[in-house]
Amino acid sequence: MMAVYLDMETGTERECQLVDYSRFALPQLERTYGYHEFRPGQLEAVNAIVNGRDLLAVMPTGSGKSVCYQLPALRPGTFTLVVSPLRALMRDQVHALRSRGVHAALADSGITPGDRQRIYQEAIEGGLQLLYAAPERLLSHEFLEFARRIRIDLLAVDEAHCVLQWGFDFRPSYMRISRFISLLPHRPVIAAFTATASPPQIPKIAEGLDLVQPIRVSTGFDRPNIRFDSVHIAPKARSNYILGWAEHHKGSGIVYCNTIKGCDRIAERLSDIDVDASAFYAPMSDERKAKIQDGFLKGSPRVICATTAFGMGVDKPDVRWVINNGPCESLEAFYQEAGRAGRDGKPSRNVVLWNDRDFDDWHFRLKGNAGSAIEDPQARGRAEQEAFDRLESMHGYCRTRSCLRHAILSYFGDQAPETCGNCRKNRKTDTVTKTPAGKRKNGTAEPKKNGKKNGETIP
């Protein structure tokens, strides 16, 4: 089968030939997962790995990334190491794999050093097919010692965009993955996965992880079941908008706020009108967070008011709507949050509430913060500029008068029609100013500036 790989010398893509292993992969898919066919991109990714090629897969959240490395990991006599920054996700995956009869384990700080040693020993003796670990663990003395005593056939790197030094999700530990690989007696096949990478970022990810002419798999970024709306609205009018929204839109929802105070305030006001809601943010105790997450998975609380801390690794397919109470600092961050709606493929909604002041605030926050961990002043300046550029892309999305889906997809380098027919800018019915009787109290008062029509009803 034909595939494309990234020529690391020139940064261009070139065609190559791979052996097609679908004859083996498909029965394994049925046996292990009970699926009768691959989802887009999965077979291409599996084939790349089994052909012994590095892989860089850009696949949206919910597209079944894990199958791409788990299937090759099931080849008898092989051992796969999975690196992920998301502890909850790793735990869930290990649990799911074990329930399917796969020998998988997680080496994290939640277990005793003695138990970790027992896991390592089991792996060395060939009793383990997959081991999950956080990137911070790789270069620890105990782990390195283990990794040098075993042949790692496949190293899967989840959330690979965390390696981007100027990226919004940068994790310094990701920069040390290539060092870890260089210390191994045998170089494994490396398969990197991310849900968010714009075209210029792709070669940078490959470089950051030291991939060798990786096969490129990209399934496209479109989430056709999500309808996007961008609502220009003053901050003081937003609470009412959200309250009205949560009352009128059934199903589980997430309200992303930029501050902890905002989360608390909205959650409280929602509770006041009998909407089952909870705030959620990083400084809460792990126990409290776990309780809220588990509850949300089961449907209570129905609504979570969260900072970005919520959602990474929370696998809830039936989130029906996501409201961004204020814009994000980048389209990458925004699309990750918006993309938590409708992973089951059913009709879902995203609304971003914004005005220009939000962007002034973001600009202020990014200035001095972006790249502050970088020592070299030139590199720091570049990091700051890139952060401003990302912010400007988010601003452009909010402001655009044309198709929102088109704006997102073209940002991520996907081909997209000029209009999608399923976003705010394309639906005349949503631009009318009339408000159904009885809804006004929950509707929003809108700033009327520059004589433009800014009236907004809850779509």
* Residue 408 in contact with Zn ion, rule: CB under 5 A: no
As given in the structure block, the two tokens for residue 197 are 């990478």
Q: In the complex, what is the shortest distance from the CB of residue 198 to Zn ion, in angstroms, rounded to a whole number?
A: 19
Among 218, 308, 426, 444, binds Zn ion (CB under 5 A): 426
Closer residue to Zn ion in complex, CB, 166/412: 412
* Residue 65 in contact with Zn ion, rule: CB under 5 A: no
Among 163, 333, 423, 458, binds Zn ion (CB under 5 A): 423
Print the binding letters for residues 357-396 with Zn ion: x by CB under 5 A, - otherwise.
----------------------------------------
Q: Tell me the C-alpha distance between 396 and 330, whole Å.
A: 10
Q: How far is CA 421 from CA 362, 402, 456, in A?
A: 31, 11, 19
Segment lying near Zn ion (by CB under 5 A), choices 68-76, 77-85, 386-394, 413-421: 413-421
Q: In the complex, what is the shortest distance from the CB of residue 408 to Zn ion, in angstroms, rounded to a whole number?
A: 9
* Residue 405 in contact with Zn ion, rule: CB under 5 A: yes
* Residue 403 in contact with Zn ion, rule: CB under 5 A: yes
Closer residue to Zn ion in complex, CB, 128/423: 423
Q: If we measure between CA atoms, which residue out of 336, 297, 337 comes closest to residue 315? A: 297
Q: Considering Cα of 137, then 139, then 141, then 143, what sign does the dihedral take?
A: positive
Q: If we measure between CA atoms, which residue out of 350, 345, 337 comes closest to residue 310? A: 337
Closer residue to Zn ion in complex, CB, 130/420: 420
Closer residue to Zn ion in complex, CB, 55/420: 420
Tokens 């310094």 appear where?
A: 172
Ranges of H-type helices in 125-200: 141-147, 177-182
Give Cβ neighbours of residue 418 (< 8 Å, ≥ 6 apart): 402, 403, 406
Q: In the complex, what is the shortest distance from the CB of residue 407 to Zn ion, in angstroms, rounded to a whole number?
A: 8
Residue 304: its H or E element: strand 303-306
As given in the structure block, the two tokens for residue 174 are 């990701």
Q: If we measure between CA atoms, which residue out of 105, 378, 342 comes closest to residue 222? A: 342
Closer residue to Zn ion in complex, CB, 57/420: 420
Asked whether 81 and 131 are in contact (CB, 8 A), the reply is yes
Q: In the complex, what is the shortest distance from the CB of residue 396 to Zn ion, in angstroms, rounded to a whole number?
A: 15
Q: How far is CA 383 from CA 328, 372, 388, in A?
A: 17, 9, 9
As given in the structure block, the two tokens for residue 129 are 């097919």
Closer residue to Zn ion in complex, CB, 126/347: 347
Q: In the complex, what is the shortest distance from the CB of residue 255 to Zn ion, in angstroms, rounded to a whole number?
A: 23
Closer residue to Zn ion in complex, CB, 107/416: 416
Q: Tell me the C-alpha distance between 225 and 230, whole Å.
A: 16
* Residue 420 in contact with Zn ion, rule: CB under 5 A: yes
Q: In the complex, what is the shortest distance from the CB of residue 330 to Zn ion, in angstroms, rounded to a whole number?
A: 20
As given in the structure block, the two tokens for residue 430 are 């949503």
Q: Tell me the C-alpha distance between 309 and 312, whole Å.
A: 7
Number of residues engaging Zn ion in binding (CB under 5 A): 5
Q: Tell me the C-alpha distance between 159 and 297, whole Å.
A: 22
| DSSP character string of 88-140 | HHHHHHHHHHHHTT--EEEESTTS-HHHHHHHHHHHHTT--SEEEE-GGGTTS
Closer residue to Zn ion in complex, CB, 46/408: 408
Segment lying near Zn ion (by CB under 5 A), choices 7-15, 48-56, 419-427, 433-441: 419-427
Closer residue to Zn ion in complex, CB, 320/406: 406
Segment lying near Zn ion (by CB under 5 A), choices 32-40, 258-266, 345-353, 416-424: 416-424
Segment lying near Zn ion (by CB under 5 A), choices 9-17, 354-362, 422-430, 444-452: 422-430
Segment lying near Zn ion (by CB under 5 A), choices 103-111, 280-288, 414-422, 430-438: 414-422
Closer residue to Zn ion in complex, CB, 108/430: 430
Tokens 């081991």 appear where?
A: 131
Q: In the complex, what is the shortest distance from the CB of residue 225 to Zn ion, in angstroms, rounded to a whole number?
A: 13
As given in the structure block, the two tokens for residue 265 are 């305030």
- 2-6 vs 13-17, strand pairing mode: antiparallel
Q: In the complex, what is the shortest distance from the CB of residue 404 to Zn ion, in angstroms, rounded to a whole number?
A: 5
Q: How far is CA 259 from CA 154, 264, 282, 308, in A?
A: 40, 9, 11, 9
Dihedrals phi, psi of 257, to nearest 5 degrees = -115, 155
Segment lying near Zn ion (by CB under 5 A), choices 11-19, 63-71, 334-342, 398-406: 398-406
Segment lying near Zn ion (by CB under 5 A), choices 237-245, 374-382, 423-431, 449-457: 423-431
Closer residue to Zn ion in complex, CB, 79/335: 335
Segment lying near Zn ion (by CB under 5 A), choices 296-304, 379-387, 401-409, 438-446: 401-409
Given the rule CB under 5 A, which residues bind Zn ion?
403, 405, 420, 423, 426
